[in-house]
Amino acid sequence: MFKDIKAKDFLTIPNLLSMLRIILIVPFVYFFLQKNYVLAAVMLIISGLSDACDGFVARRFNQVTQLGKMLDPIADKLTLIAIMVCITIFTPIVLPVMIVLILKDVVMLIGGSRLLKTGINPPAAKWYGKAGTFVFYVVVGLIVFLKAAFNYENPILSVVLLSITCAIMIFALIKYFMVYLSLLKNADKKSEVKE
């Protein structure tokens, strides 16, 4: 897979947007830990908008690359991990939900690694994966906004909102698992035909 990556791929708009999302993690964490929730939210909004745009631009202008297929989920996972750590520090009661989300991402990472080892390129992010990421951004943004703007903190509301997000992400995991099994099955059929 890595041999298919070209130097010019780094300069495509979708890949630059994915790299921007990775870079934005640093100021987001800094502002969040400094309790500057407004600027932290701004970093999240910019990150979320670039996440929504990169896939559209890639497809619309035929800029889908192997590098992009790797960078997009990496940017998603790193951003989500940073948000999860910050929000757990912010509202410790959500820790169990965060553990479920982390386990989901670990399972997906293991599945992607398995596909790469068998010579299969992991598929690009699907709509349900993007939906889970979008809902996560909205929910976290809402929790942070309520705390920052109104000093309103409701652990029950946080748990409910994050549980809904968790359910959407588990749905996405199940859908990705079905794609994973389909890819492995097709690979087995091709190897049987060659034999």
CATH number at residue 116: 1.20.120.1760
Question: Does residue 72 lie in a domain region?
Answer: yes
pLDDT digits (tens, 9 = 90+) for 17-34: 888 999 999 999 999 889
Q: What pLDDT score does 74 carry?
A: 83
Q: Tens digits of per-residue pLDDT, 81-112?
A: 888 888 788 777 667 777 777 777 788 778 87
pLDDT bucket at 1, cuts 50 / 70 / 90 = very low
Domain that holds residue 40: 2-188
Number of domains in the chain: 1
Q: Is the residue at 70 inside a domain? A: yes
The three state secondary structure string of the chain is CHHHCCHHHHHCHHHHHHHHHHHHHHHHHHHHHCCCHHHHHHHHHHHHHHHHHHHHHHHHCCCCCHHHHHHHHHHHHHHHHHHHHHHHHHCHHHHHHHHHHHHHHHHHHHHHHHHHHCCCCCCCCCHHHHHHHHHHHHHHHHHHHHHHHHCCCCHHHHHHHHHHHHHHHHHHHHHHHHHHHHHHHHHHHHHHHHC
In a domain, 193, yes or no: no
Whether residue 151 has pLDDT greater than 80: no
Whether 195 maps to a domain, the answer reads no
Task: Tell me, yes or no, whether 166 lies in a domain.
Answer: yes
In a domain, 87, yes or no: yes
Per-residue model confidence (pLDDT) at position 2: 45
83 within a domain of the structure (yes/no) = yes
* pLDDT for 195: 54
